Copies of this chain bind each other. A is one copy, B any other.
């Protein structure tokens, strides 16, 4: 198949569809229409069809989709047909919250190592994972062939951690530290800014102004 530029909004909606299909499948429903999916998640049926159309023909016209097939298809698109090994760097309040965030494991993101520089934290266990010294990051991440790094350290330390993650072979970095990080183009980087979520809300609260 050829390379297409897929809008990020489509990827995020696919993620929402797949969560909805998990529920639908649990209820034992076998077949679903794009209209059902649309209603379930609150978008238009045309949007559902358009999002899916990026990835080729799927489903049978007039019959709809087999729930399990559609779910598997979307998970494959999202790269979730496999589990991903994730390292978490930084065990402050946010790191602690992320270390026990159930949504990661449910979607196949398995935290396999945790690093911090606080001697009181090093050696403790979070679920089954031992918190290790930052000095061991490169050795452990490379040995585990960890694919994804989550940066939850203060801004001043973030670039150094990003460099170490890249040197250790991670393919993708999710960064919660403020500021701009530099990584080579072959490494996917996503910056999470939690305030943006509030700004979408305040825009919508005030949307009648336009």
Q: Which residues of A come within 8 Å of B, CB atoms?
A: 1-4, 6-9, 11-12, 14-16, 19, 54-55, 77-80, 84, 86, 92-94, 96-98, 100-104, 106-107, 109, 147-148, 171-174, 178, 188, 190, 192-210
Contact = CB atoms under 8 A, between A and B. Distances in A.
B197 A6 contact: no
Contacts of A171: 205
List the 3 closest pairs (A to B, CB-CB), nearest first: A79-B202, A93-B97, A94-B97
Contacts of A208: 3
B194 A104 contact: yes
A8 B9 contact: yes
Contact of A205 (B3, B103, B188): B188
A103 B193 contact: yes
Given A8-B9, A178-B103, A195-B103, A200 B204 contact: no
Given A98-B194, A205-B147, A200 B8 contact: yes
Given A172-B202, A201-B174, A210 B100 contact: no
Q: How many copies does the complex hold?
A: 2
Contact of A210 (B6, B103, B188): B6
Nearest to A102: B178
Contacts of A196: 12, 15-16
Nearest to A20: B180
A201 B178 contact: no
B109 A203 contact: no
Contact of A79 (B98, B193, B205): B205
Given A104-B195, A198-B84, A209 B93 contact: no
B172 A79 contact: no
Contacts of A7: 9
